[in-house]
Structure 1
Amino acid sequence: MRHLAAAASLLVLLAPALAAQDLERPDGWQVRFDNPGASEADLEMFVDMPPGWHVTTGPAGIFWSPDNTASGDFRAEMEVFLFDPQGRREAFGMFVGGKELAGGSQEYTYFLLRDGGQYIIKRREGSEAPTVRP
């Protein structure tokens, strides 16, 4: 019985890793890093993980699908499962109002949240990122 329990525990621990091997990057999604010197090789993981995505980045950046747009009045909401950042001050969030995202005159408003509850709202205007709400 002890061996059966140990085997079942090991299977439970391995299941997420085995499932992750079959995951693929979402079709059509674009990536833009905040640092122009960063590249796709710096991105650790960006894959479909129903009901959403699994993202593990090295450098900061934005991810978007040109197929996902809204106009007029809309509501945006997200649910995040944050893994232990092990003391790093990692931030995560979402952006709205994106224009020219792949070009030099990119524009969008973004909301960032840290695991301690701190947040900031900023606006990206080309290479500038003024704070809207500290």
Structure 2
Amino acid sequence: MMRIVPAALLAIAAASSVAHAQDNEKSMAVKGGIQMKGWMGVVDAKEAKAGLTVDSAKFVGMGAGMHATTGPAITYWNPGMKGTGDYTVKATFSEREYMGLNNHPHPYGIVMGGNDMGTENANYLYCAAYGNGNFIVRGFGPAPFQLNGPRGGTHPAVNKAEAKGKPVTQEIALQVKGDKVSCLINGQEVASYPKSDVVGAGKLKSTDGVVGFRMGHNTDAHIAGFAVTKTP
């Protein structure tokens, strides 16, 4: 007897398979380290336990921008670049070859509100995009806290690569305006939260803080137009 499996169950099975791959994929060390003056970085605790460090990823200047190749999942920041009050931090991320270093989508995006960076009490917020139309908003404070679920969600504004090995570009921004913190991707607001959702016990100390960006493990992307400006 032939059984018809509902499309919803197939989607759940596919998502479960991707999640399993993400949880079990090993980070491949990349030689190079941080080659950008004034920048610092830290790998996730899980990566550090596996013996990986900032020298297991490569972060260099390239043309008018920067380029990051990982390695371990890593957060980069520049102590001299901070956002205060109402501000917007943004950059354009370009994967020349979507999933060029992995077999499933990995994220990259903007960091804001960084305090106590490089310590066990580090806290910051990031919004990151995937080349399959997905995005994730998450914080560390110092334990991770999720704002749009453990695997993020989809939004039409997030660009999708045509196929593995094809290029895909995302302009990503985090914005503070009044009591609202928003993530914008390719010019559209994809998520917003009241400050009470991101600042408080176990979360951020403040939305004021250093800015930077975050790269998932085994990811390669060019970063252009990185800047902090006052929100109009």
Query: How do 1:1-134 and structure 2 match up within 5 A?
Result: 25-34=35-44, 35-37=47-49, 38-43=52-57, 45-84=58-97, 85-86=99-100, 87-126=103-142, 128-134=143-149
- 1:11 maps to none
Kindly report the root-mean-square deviation, in angstroms, between the aligned alpha carbons of the 2 structures. 1.5
Corresponding residue SS for 2:59: strand
CA deviation map 1:80-133 (0-9, x unaligned): 11122143322111111000111110100111211001011011012x211112
How many residues are aligned here?
109
8 Å CA contact 2:42–2:54 kept in 1: the answer is: no
Larger Rg: 1
Corresponding residue SS for 1:130: strand
- 1:9 maps to none
TM-score normalized with structure 1 length: 0.75
Cα gap change, 1:40 to 1:109, in 2 (>3 Å)? closer
Corresponding residue SS for 1:75: strand
Which consecutive residues of structure 2, in runs of 5 or more, have no partner in the other structure?
Answer: 1-33, 150-232
Following superposition, the deviation at residue 41 of structure 1 comes to 3.2
Larger RCO, structure (CA 8 Å, separation 6 or more): 2
Corresponding residue SS for 1:47: strand
Which consecutive residues of structure 1, in runs of 5 or more, have no partner in the other structure?
Answer: 1-23
CA deviation map 1:5-53 (0-9, x unaligned): xxxxxxxxxxxxxxxxxxx81101101001333213311x210113210
Whichever structure has more strand as a proportion of its residues is: 2
Corresponding residue SS for 2:55: helix
Q: CA separation in 2, counterparts of 1:123 and 1:41?
A: 24
